Chains A and B, each alone.
Chain A
């Protein structure tokens, strides 16, 4: 016998009202990062010791810029979700935990924005 109401059961959102959203996006971004990272590692090896001219040529290719932006978004989304779990596991003080979570999420958004704008400014 379950103590949950039929409505709560069909909504599948649980007590956190979040359902599997966090878990699912962690997997979706992981899946996206597999091909993106293989492409990125191969590309970075090609850019070892490159001068500014060839870096600009590489990033200003629309395909490169698109893949770089997707890589940045997927990476930071995945990283922030992952760090959130680590923080929630080890930090037990509610106020400190909330503060660190907000700091990590804020830093993640900030760095992702700097990365995307850098790519865009090289593209245009």
Chain B
């Protein structure tokens, strides 16, 4: 096979995803989602600056089923990107490159994301 015809890695039709590759692409996807989610943050702050009526509208939207769904998605993406980002910072510092360590830290990220999300929403629902 000539060099220019070789499949690029990962060749998605024949590639078997692993925890490490799945978490890797999820980091990028949640990053993009969070970048879009900044619109919600700016809308919330700008509405507060605009006055009581605009802020009431923003708070009502966040409390609607669509708002809660968006906030839930935002919180999962945030906690995932945060946990996996810390994992990346350890790699940048030169730690945790062995395969068993990468799997252990990967599962720690999955468990950490779930725990933080549940914790935040349980506290949030008690507050309301």
Contacts and interface: CB of A to CB of B under 8 A. Distances in A.
A binds B: yes
Given A45-B124, A79-B38, A111-B38, A37 B82 contact: yes
Given A111-B38, A114-B46, A115-B46, A52 B124 contact: no
B-side interface size class: 20 to 34
A-side interface size class: 20 to 34
Contact of B35 (A30, A31, A46, A83): A83
Determine chain B's interface SS by DSSP, over half rule. Answer: helix
Interface in B38-53: 38-39, 41-42, 45-46, 48-49, 51-52
Determine chain A's interface SS by DSSP, over half rule. Answer: helix
B48 A82 contact: no
B109 interface: no
Interface string A27-65: 100110110010001000110111111011001000000
Contacts of B55: 51-52, 55
A51 B82 contact: no
B42 to A, nearest CB: 5
Nearest to A89: B28
A51 B92 contact: no
Of B38, B88, B92, B127, most A-chain CB atoms within 10 Å: B38
Given A37-B78, A48-B62, A48-B128, 18 more contacts: A27-B92, A30-B88, A45-B123, A45-B124, A45-B127, A48-B63, A51-B52, A52-B48, A52-B52, A52-B55, A55-B48, A79-B35, A86-B32, A115-B42, A115-B46, A118-B46, A121-B49, A122-B49
9 smallest beta-carbon distances between A and B, as pairs: A118-B49, A52-B52, A118-B45, A79-B35, A52-B55, A121-B49, A115-B42, A45-B124, A118-B46
